[in-house]
Amino acid sequence: MRQIVTTRNGGVDVLRVEEAPDPSPKAGELVIRVRAAGLNFADILARQGLYPDGPPKPCVMGYEVSGVIEAVGKGVHKDLVGRSVVALTRFGGQAEFVAVKDSQIFDKPKSLTFEQAAAIPVNYLTAYALLIVMGSLHKGESVLIHNAGGGVGLAALDIAKKTGAATYGTASQSKHKFLLERGLDYAIDYRSQDWLPVLKEVTNGKGVDLVIDPIGGAHWKKSYEALRHTGRLGMFGVSAASATGLAGKVKLLKAVIQIPWFHPMGLLNKNRGVFGLNLGHLWHEPEKVERWMEEILRGVQKGWINPYVDRVFSFDQVGEAHSYIEGRKNIGKVVLVP
Ligand SMILES: NC(=O)c1ccc[n+]([C@@H]2O[C@H](COP(=O)([O-])OP(=O)(O)OC[C@H]3O[C@@H](n4cnc5c(N)ncnc54)[C@H](OP(=O)(O)O)[C@@H]3O)[C@@H](O)[C@H]2O)c1
């Protein structure tokens, strides 16, 4: 099979498409013939050497795929062969075939293409956990979605709209028209202006009930300032560190140094909550993830979950795909196809 190998830390030139033996399923596993694999910001950070959760290099990244079950191992029902599925993959998804545990697969919704289906797991599970499970977003409340035009951002917008909360989002200016058409109530260009005073002004000085922040470092402190009483801050990424080589290491160090401390008395007196989320640290809680995924897939059926694929790149174009996201050009999901 062909697979995308991140050969070492570096720029997009370290990405190679290489041949490898096809995997065979172990007991309790299935092998999926991959039709589409999601590309996530984590894959970019891993290539840059800034993602501690990634496997040692050389490695094949990829947290999610859609495809067709090709073979099953001992203990897995043979009827599953030929079924179209969407799956979480603990790496290795950016390949023609991948072996996964049977607990990691879900039926692909018939209404979605393979590319759209591959856009669901990471983005929607992350957004669901942030907004519903941990953020407890409710009708009548308000949420600020940072990077609203990204993969997680658009997923969060779908879910926030379903709750009936008011939605504010930060994004590059070029994405605002799209976001407003998709239902975002208010877009802020955080790259050309200071977003916090703008948010305060449009919320009559109050701020919002929930902020989800993947930027990290000092930005988490600023997002905390955007909360009104009983507000919650969900922290889930360090996009601020993104850069290749020494620049990335320096940015990551700066982000770590600038991480705020939240004192219990401050939280108590301001009626605020803070939480973190790392979907990659939930593999030991498959029943939770399964419950959330089932709710998301029901949302596809009912029409309130609409995965948006911006660009589809072939495996051979993987460097272009990485550059597209690093250049902040993507609106929603970038998908790779063999
Ligand atoms: N903790 C978790 O479980 C988890 C799971 C999934 C994702 N994440 C994190 O969530 C964030 C979004 O992930 P995603 O996969 O959905 O990717 P994405 O949103 O598609 O990421 C790309 C977008 O992020 C914005 N961005 C902000 N700072 C950036 C920077 N320094 N360099 C490049 N782009 C930057 C850009 O949009 P604008 O300029 O328009 O804002 C860009 O288009 C990432 O930090 C990722 O690591 C965390």
Supply the residue whose CA is at minimum distance from atom 28 of ligand 1. 239
Which atom of ligand 1 lies at the shortest distance from residue 174's CA?
A: 40
**Is any ligand 1 atom within 6 A of the Cβ of residue 279?**
yes
| Ligand 1 atom having least distance to the Cα of 45 | 47
- The pLDDT of residue 262 is 95
Q: Ligand 1: does its nearest atom lie under 6 Å from the Cβ of 153?
A: yes
Ligand 1 atom with least separation from CA of 332: 20
What is the chain's pLDDT, residue by residue, as a tens digit (338 residues)?
999 999 999 999 999 999 999 999 999 999 999 999 999 999 999 999 999 999 999 999 999 999 999 999 999 999 999 999 999 999 999 999 999 999 999 999 999 999 999 999 999 999 999 999 999 999 999 999 999 999 999 999 999 999 999 999 999 999 999 999 999 999 999 999 999 999 999 999 999 999 999 999 999 999 999 999 999 999 999 998 888 889 998 999 999 999 999 999 999 999 999 999 999 999 999 999 999 999 999 999 999 999 999 999 999 999 999 999 999 999 999 999 99
pLDDT computed for residue 5 by the predictor: 98
Rg (CA), the chain: 20
Query: Using CA atoms, how far apart are residues 134 and 213, in angstroms rounded to an integer?
Result: 13
Task: For ligand 1, pick from 328, 334, 335 the residue to mutate: most ligand atoms within 8 Å of CB.
Answer: 328
Residue whose Cα lies nearest atom 30 of ligand 1: it is: 239
Query: pTM (2 decimals)?
Result: 0.97
Please list the residues that pair with 311 across neighbouring strands.
Answer: 334
pLDDT confidence of residue 243: 87
Give distance in angstroms: CA of 72 to centre of ligand 1. 35
**Among the listed residues 231, 234, 206, the one whose alpha carbon sits nearest the alpha carbon of residue 220:** 234
Residue 271 CB less than 6 A away from ligand 1: no
Distance 47 CA to ligand 1 centre (A): 15
Report which ligand 1 atom has the smallest distance to the Cα of 146: 41
Q: Which amino acid is at 304?
A: W
For ligand 1, is residue 126 a contact (CB within 6 Å)? Answer: yes
Rounded CA separation 212/173 (Å): 19
